[in-house]
Every structure is written in C-alpha cells, then in structure tokens.
Amino acid sequence: MDGLPSEVMGDIIISLERAREEAERLAVPYYERVFALIIHGLLHIMGFDHVQGGNEARRMRYREKKLLGFIASHPLYQRLAGSPG
C-alpha cells in the first residue's frame, strides 16, 4: 500500500437503503447521495464537524459541495450514474 498510512483513521458506515430513501426524498440521484455521504464521513474523519453550527458547519458544507462537484464532473462518475459524459 504505497503512500497510505498503516493505521485506520476511522470508519464510514452507510445504510444504502436509507441513502436510497434520502435520495428519493431530496430528489437527487442515488449515487449522488451515496457519494455525498461518503464525503461527509471523510470530512468527519479529517476533523470537520457541523454539530456546533457556525463557521465550522459552513466550512464543512463548502468542502462537501466542492468535493461532490469535483466527483460529479468526472467521466467515471458520470458513467456510473448514467449521465451523459
């Protein structure tokens, strides 16, 4: 595992059933919701938190949107999600 730390930094647990329900409720594609949850979990592992609100919550939301936009614009994601690419 070149360049990867040998320690586990954290766990991300996602209920795909709940992700599907949330995607339907939010009217967003299923894969977009799953990737958003992965990004959200990664940011928590990196130390970001939104629970207290304020500037930290804004910074976390900004990073979530920026990372999701980067992923969603990638041709591999577009193929996975069935979008024209």
Predicted pLDDT of residue 20: 97
- Catalogue all structural domains in the chain, each as residue range(s) with its CATH number: 16-81 (3.40.390.30)
pLDDT at position 82: 73
Q: Around Cβ 34, how many Cβ atoms within 10 Å?
A: 18
Residue-wise pLDDT for 12-61, tens only, equals: 999 999 999 999 999 998 988 999 999 999 999 998 888 878 888 899 99
- What's the gap between Cα 69 and its chain centre? 10
Question: What gap in Å lies between CA 36 and CA 67, rounded to an integer?
Answer: 9
- The more confident residue out of 82 and 56 is 56
